[in-house]
Chain A
């Protein structure tokens, strides 16, 4: 593991947090509930080691709330209605985004795969998932190289170029990438087969996936929040 000072949560409990955040958005929770959840998720982000991100998210939430209350208390015209609408939309999107950050932060691909295996997910879901995670950095690298090669030949990706020759610009980008992708896919297949991905039987994993005390605490507190939101308690 990268850092032992921080608390590490199980991928499964992270997923539950994401679902809970989505539930809050759908059920149109009252503002105080949203605030409680934001504080909660900020604490979680701090605990798992991304204090800076937690602060940015929380501060932007506070700013949005402040702006909504302070300046758009009275809606007078179309413009202020639209701005206020955008503020409300961004504000209510923040909790799920924070939860998504919490889920993807500090979780390696291996952990996700181990969790998926634990759920007995079929191969046709797991393999594309691994490939996408592994392949993405390569694609970015290829993209940069292609841009450099284009610059070298005097083809710039400028706004005027895109407007003047949209199809040509697209062709210059897509065709090299897709050709390159074909090779990469073949190489990846070879590697994967060598590593035994095509094996039909039971696979084993180095990473142990187990719910620990912190996961139980997280799940329990989410349950309490859900009960409060549902009006069972209070």
Chain B
């Protein structure tokens, strides 16, 4: 595979900024519309609106590394703003996997981009995984205080397991829809 040139790296940086921007918009949209657990829906919302950018990056810079770097922007952000290390791992690993699928495998083009975009979208789940992780910390701290936690425990059990699966399945669905929308916009304005 060809190596990335300086021009490619600059384009990647620029598109990565736009991607960061769309994720920011998705976060804001969710924050103002969904009250408490808005962060659960951020990955699916941004999967819905960043399909076009993904298509442009995949088509304009068809070399291994581009998608990884675009996704890793979020990893750097999560790291710098002190979400803890587990949060930045998914936003690095999933884009890497998506990149691998996109540039190194030989599946039919249409299903390939669909698959890689779905994988890519999971990159944003990093910051919400701690919600389940933190739950344990919370329960630990209460148990340390000597509380009887059986009741609250049972309440949380249902809420978090269900919400976990709901938000994960939602990511798959919205990335599918988001890529379809992206393709419409891409074909209308950017395809040459």
Which positions in A face B, CB cutoff 8 Å? 18-19, 21-22, 25-26, 28, 75, 78, 81-82, 84-86, 88-89, 92-93, 95-100, 103-104, 123-125, 127-132, 135-136, 139, 143, 167, 170-171, 174-175, 177-179, 181, 184-185, 188-189, 192-193, 197-198
Contact = CB atoms under 8 A, between A and B. Distances in A.
What are the 4 tightest A-B residue pairs by CB atom distance, in nearest-first order?
Answer: A131-B13, A96-B82, A100-B82, A128-B13
A98 B18 CA distance: 26
B82 A21 contact: yes
A28 B16 contact: no
Interface of B: 4-7, 9-18, 20-22, 36, 49, 52-53, 56, 65, 69, 73, 76, 79-86, 131, 134-135, 137-138, 140-142, 147, 152, 155-156, 181, 184-185, 188-190
B140 A28 contact: yes
A155 to B, nearest CB: 17
Given A18-B82, A136-B17, 8 more contacts: A26-B85, A78-B152, A96-B82, A100-B80, A124-B9, A131-B17, A171-B188, A188-B10
Chain A interface, DSSP helix/strand/loop, else mixed: helix
Contacts of A93: 82-83
Chain B interface, DSSP helix/strand/loop, else mixed: helix
B134 A132 contact: no
A185 B7 CA distance: 8
